[in-house]
Structure 1
Amino acid sequence: MMRAAYDEIADWYEEEFLRAGRGKGDDPLGIDAALRDLLGRGGGLCLEIGCGTGVHAAGVRDLGWTPVGIDLSGGMLRHARNRLPIAKADAERLPLKDNSVPAVIAMMVHTDMPGYPAVLREVARVLRPGGVFVHVGVHPCFCGGFADRGDLDAVVIRPGYLDGHWTKESWTDRGIRDKVGATHRPLPELLHAFLAAGLTLERFAEGGTPTPVVLAMKACKGR
């Protein structure tokens, strides 16, 4: 379902949605800042799960890493192929050996993955001991079908936050969620999925003002 939806909106996402975001400033939600801060400088392969059109590849390269991306959507990958090496693959079944990569990132995609706990287990499997995983996603407390962000000075949180669910409800018809939907997990459930996968949470960041839009986390695999 998600794959077909993103195939259908890939051109809109690349040509309109991303352009509109750039018009609001270089990094209005702090997504790039969180990636730089939590991933940090390094070397070797950095796997991006759900890489979409590959817009984060340049930032990964600037930090010294070599980006490689996987995604289920052929439409999105059509735009990504000129930005980084890609493969069409399922994040719940990564085509990589155990303990094979030093870094993995997931950029604003966890709500697109109903099986995110299984994805985290795969991340832990393919990471080398001591490897780094950076998750940058929509903030589960302030974003979702239950949240009306029409007035950023008074975000309205309606009942529904505790109900983990998939929905296409959205406060705007100019975003992504009303088109492809989203899977919501309350914050404790999301954090527990990291722990259950065997990942150790190390650092956190939030982005977007005046009420956060983004929650970012750095986790490591034990040596």
Structure 2
Amino acid sequence: MAAYDEIADWYEQEFLRAQPVHLGTEALRDLLGTGSGVCLEIGCGTGVHADLVRELGWTPLGVDLSGGMLRHASARLPIARADAARLPVRDRSVDAVVSVLVHTDMPEYFAVLREVARVLRPGGVFVHVGVHPCFCGGFADRGDPAAVVVRPGYLDGHWTKESWTDQGIRDKVGARHWPLPDLLNAFLDAGLTLDRFGETGTPLPIVLAVRAFIGAAAGEEPLSHRR
């Protein structure tokens, strides 16, 4: 994505350093959990989640469309430049897939979910960590953390650069919004089974996390439950 190529250095050197704790870390740790095998991160960006994935026992592999972001990621995990809606990955070949704070960057995210379902092994786990559809978007003013203002526009579903801050990403590259039912229904339409959910951030959640899996063989427990 050309827009991310243009901000890759700023993202790595300024934006990430300004975050005391990466918003998706807690939810990713909780829902992915410990495991083994290949964990594919779609939209891996600069690869900041690779260490956590390794800490949990998985082997990270990242894909992203932005060469600028991957330039930073290459020192952190094996990478491939690819469109997440057309993954260069064999059917039923990975044990886990994660998507962390990137679904609003992907206009074809519903196609991405279908790709996730295609590449996961039976029983494989998928963890989606994204900005919360109900409380984050062009309709939400988070300028006062103690009193978030939600304006009309949540139900519209759109791409926008409107933002309450010029220190974030949406005002630079834009973001796509889907209402919560549309997003969750897309998991089901892709053939994924919803398993667990999480929210992080206060006073209104910033992050919505979802764990889903591909059906295991008869009598076999999903990988996400083998703890």
Same fold (TM over 0.5): yes
- Give 2:122's aligned residue: 129
Distance 1:9 1:215 in 2: 25
Gaps of 5+ in 1: none
Structure 2 counterpart of 1:103, which letter?
A: A
- Deviation at 1:164? 0.4
Compute the TM-score of the two structures, normalised by the length of structure 2.
Answer: 0.94
Distance 1:170 1:162 in 2: 17
- Give 1:175's aligned residue: 168
Distance 1:96 1:86 in 2: 12
- Deviation at 1:106? 0.2
- Give 2:47's aligned residue: 54
| Equivalent runs, 1:142-181 vs 2, <5 Å | 142-181=135-174
Distance 2:86 2:163 in 1: 30
- Give 1:104's aligned residue: 97
Structure 2 counterpart of 1:111, which letter?
A: T
Which ranges of 4 or more aligned residues in structure 1 deviate by more than 2 Å? none
- Give 1:20's aligned residue: 18
Compute the TM-score of the two structures, normalised by the length of structure 1.
Answer: 0.96
Cα deviation digits, residues 15-72 of structure 1 (max 9, x gap): 0000000xx3x35x3x211111100100010000000000000000000000000000
| Equivalent runs, 1:72-111 vs 2, <5 Å | 72-111=65-104
- Deviation at 1:185? 0.1
Three-state SS of the structure 1 residue aligned to 2:144 is coil
Distance 2:212 2:145 in 1: 30
Structure 2 counterpart of 1:63, which letter?
A: L
- Deviation at 1:119? 0.2
Structure 2 counterpart of 1:16, which letter?
A: E
Distance 1:32 1:51 in 2: 13
Gaps of 5+ in 2: 217-227
Please, what is the CA RMSD of the aligned residues?
Answer: 0.7
Cα deviation digits, residues 172-205 of structure 1 (max 9, x gap): 0110000000000000000000000000010001
Distance 1:144 1:191 in 2: 17
1:220 correspondence with 2:213:
yes
- Give 2:5's aligned residue: 7
Distance 2:207 2:30 in 1: 14
Identity %: 77
Q: Which of these residues, 130, 134, 147, is aligned with residue 141 of structure 1?
A: 134
Three-state SS of the structure 2 residue aligned to 1:190 is helix
Three-state SS of the structure 2 residue aligned to 1:161 is coil
Distance 1:61 1:114 in 2: 29
- Give 1:65's aligned residue: 58
1:34 correspondence with 2:27:
yes
Distance 2:170 2:180 in 1: 19
Three-state SS of the structure 2 residue aligned to 1:123 is helix
